[in-house]
A and B are shown apart, each in its own frame.
Chain A
């Protein structure tokens, strides 16, 4: 190798070149191994938590208050379950899911009454909740729905963050059955506690829409195919989303042309609010406020069959008028 025409390179240069090549090779190796199958091709859906709180013995599974203002009714009904402190701990993030589906005024009873939502916000804040979020994916333009329903103003004033439905991030969740593959609003999955706050309304397919049907509003694009087998799908949603509380707004109920309504002739002032931990029982009570026998509802039967609760309205503690 000792060719007089080619004197060897200096030791220093050899060391520099060998080490830089080795470093580069190490970087290639590290990059290859670091990125190798780092992500699976298809990500698994996020877990949906169980937000329920075990009730102490002796408390009723649901309580209904009537006669007072919407706020008073909410307070009395929740108090009868042992008070909000039983359900919401200081520092927690609570998500309220009202029905704000439509560009309608409170008098038209197509959306949850703003005072019911606002009172729940105040209760949660009073119990020390760090954040109270209000979210729904409306059917009409969300800006119009939240503004005209009065929910944006009332809940905002009470201290809630009312989330803009147009900007709600959607994520894949491990939904099963009919809703499998659909996306769910991300703040719901991150919340510590969840309160479902539907309004009692007529519905042309499921006959009535109440608590379990209200979960449609946390689902993204594609949820409209769930109407193909509505009773089964409502029960499946009830099995998937297990809220801390269900609060049914029957301040005004919509008896016909649901779920949008429009005419005040279809609205009946009932002046009642129910709070409960058994979602099937809550829906059964709501049906009665609409003049519908819960035993005749397919989704109540489907939900009972799945063991999600008991649709027997006699189990509701009626607090009567204030």
Chain B
């Protein structure tokens, strides 16, 4: 194995390791302040999508521009050297499919339908421009983090399955299994980030160059080509992952990766049908209102649509959320879950708080720290709790279901919700009553009541309520700080 190849594999191991390690530390609740969303913030697909949907590029995503500039110099090195999903596919391809040389040559040929990824990119950016950000569905970093975090991780001993997680896992596994048949099929044919990098990769200053005189047309360079970019024929820099395997394979030393290397005779732009490209862009544009309508629109607040603390107002939130599931990994109680139906069709896989699974710890602000795009603002704990003197950040309001509550309806003493209530003074207070019970016995009861002006909607009450499947105190989104229209109570005097 050549030093080049060893170096590349080392890079891939390091970045895959970093990706997994950050995800692991995040899920473990490591109190250290690691840059958890680092790799996600370098993602130009997220940056372009958010900029198109929100009309603004959050500062956290600005470094993604640097990756594009580096791509202009070196080509799609991100795909071959950094992308964790690329590395995982390469690994899957290596482990799952011992191929004969003939088969290898066969599967590493370029195919015209690899242009699908560019049409997908056009469609996703069209949709973002029309106001619905869906790049996260196929973004390789989101796809990998979500598949691992929401799908596979919870299956480890001690984990709890996540609603909608199986689909995230299925997508990830399908991507990996596809490499059994065609190496890196996802990268080659479906990855919108790869397509975006390819748009810039065609300008790459460093590229694979074939020395015509010494090449014996032996085709060995195709043997391990990751991008199916035809180093032997009309090399396609827009497809090339810069894995440099071809250099390694060439027995004649006829290939080189050189600054201003000679381009192949054909300028080798991505082979695209202009009609399909425009069609997919328009399709994306039109899909935005459809997706929105299918979910009932963004305008109406929904009871179960409880967003994590610090989440922007719904419309701005959806313009920024890339469905990476990092907030869900970060949540220490498992309260944050990927939405299946709560957020409509366009909000599929965006994070929601499900109090019955976990309460929102009063002073915890990890979800905002993990969010790569600022869809969930990073709050200071004093801001979230309201200890800075301003009203606390609310995500909803708790309501007692008097028909299910033990002291309200069964004559059974219980104070668990009041005990769990973290605000100071408590939003839940106890109304002391004596109630005639069956056969003349007098029951002394403390009935929980909610003072809505103090409730932050954390759901710790709902989470700990001893009344099984459906709690006797439940949180809905009304009163959430982020939506001034989703309120019931009057504000304080001017």
Task: Report yes or no: B489 in contact with A14, Cβ–Cβ below 8 A.
Answer: no
Task: Report yes or no: B57 in contact with A38, Cβ–Cβ below 8 A.
Answer: yes
The digit string for A3-46, where 1 denotes a CB below 8 A from any CB of B, is 10110110001100110110011001101100111110110000
Residues of B within 8 A of A233 (CB): 490
Is A178 an interface residue when CB atoms closer than 8 A count as contact?
A: yes
Closest Cβ of chain A to B378, distance in Å, is 12
Task: Report yes or no: A28 in contact with B493, Cβ–Cβ below 8 A.
Answer: no
Task: Report yes or no: B56 in contact with A37, Cβ–Cβ below 8 A.
Answer: yes
Residues of A267-308 whose CB lies within 8 A of B: none
Which of A8, A29, A39, A180 is close to B491, meaning CB atoms less than 8 Å apart? Answer: A180
Q: Contacts A29-B65, A32-B65 known; A229 to B260 CB distance under 8 Å?
A: no
Is B487 an interface residue when CB atoms closer than 8 A count as contact?
A: yes
The digit string for B448-465, where 1 denotes a CB below 8 A from any CB of A, is 000000000000000000
Is B55 an interface residue when CB atoms closer than 8 A count as contact?
A: yes
Closest Cβ of chain A to B125, distance in Å, is 13
Task: Report yes or no: A5 in contact with B213, Cβ–Cβ below 8 A.
Answer: yes
In whole angstroms, what is the CA distance A225 to B484 when docked?
12
Give B215's nearest chain A residue, CB to CB.
Answer: A5
Task: Report yes or no: B490 in contact with A21, Cβ–Cβ below 8 A.
Answer: no
In whole angstroms, what is the CA distance A126 to B254 when docked?
89
Is B494 an interface residue when CB atoms closer than 8 A count as contact?
A: yes
Is A222 an interface residue when CB atoms closer than 8 A count as contact?
A: yes
Q: Which of A20, A35, A172, A183 has the most chain B CB atoms closer than 10 A to its own CB?
A: A35
In whole angstroms, what is the CA distance A176 to B56 when docked?
28
Task: Report yes or no: A181 in contact with B485, Cβ–Cβ below 8 A.
Answer: yes
Give B374's nearest chain A residue, CB to CB.
Answer: A41
Is B369 an interface residue when CB atoms closer than 8 A count as contact?
A: no
Task: Report yes or no: A6 in contact with B256, Cβ–Cβ below 8 A.
Answer: yes
Q: Can you list 30 A-B pairs with a CB-CB distance of less than 8 A?
A: A5-B212, A5-B213, A9-B261, A18-B260, A20-B203, A21-B72, A21-B203, A28-B65, A28-B68, A28-B72, A31-B51, A31-B65, A32-B64, A35-B56, A36-B57, A39-B54, A41-B312, A172-B484, A177-B493, A179-B491, A180-B494, A181-B485, A181-B487, A182-B484, A220-B485, A221-B485, A222-B487, A225-B490, A228-B490, A233-B490
Additional 15 contacts, C-beta under 8 A, given A18-B260, A21-B72, A42-B313: A6-B209, A6-B258, A8-B260, A24-B72, A24-B203, A25-B68, A28-B68, A32-B62, A32-B64, A178-B491, A179-B491, A180-B484, A181-B487, A225-B489, A236-B493
Q: Which residues of A come within 8 Å of B, CB atoms?
A: 3, 5-6, 8-9, 13-14, 17-18, 20-21, 24-25, 28-29, 31-32, 35-39, 41-42, 172, 176-183, 220-222, 225-226, 228-229, 232-233, 236, 239
| Top 6 A-B residue pairs of the complex, sorted by shortest distance between their CB atoms | A181-B484, A177-B494, A32-B65, A35-B57, A5-B211, A39-B56
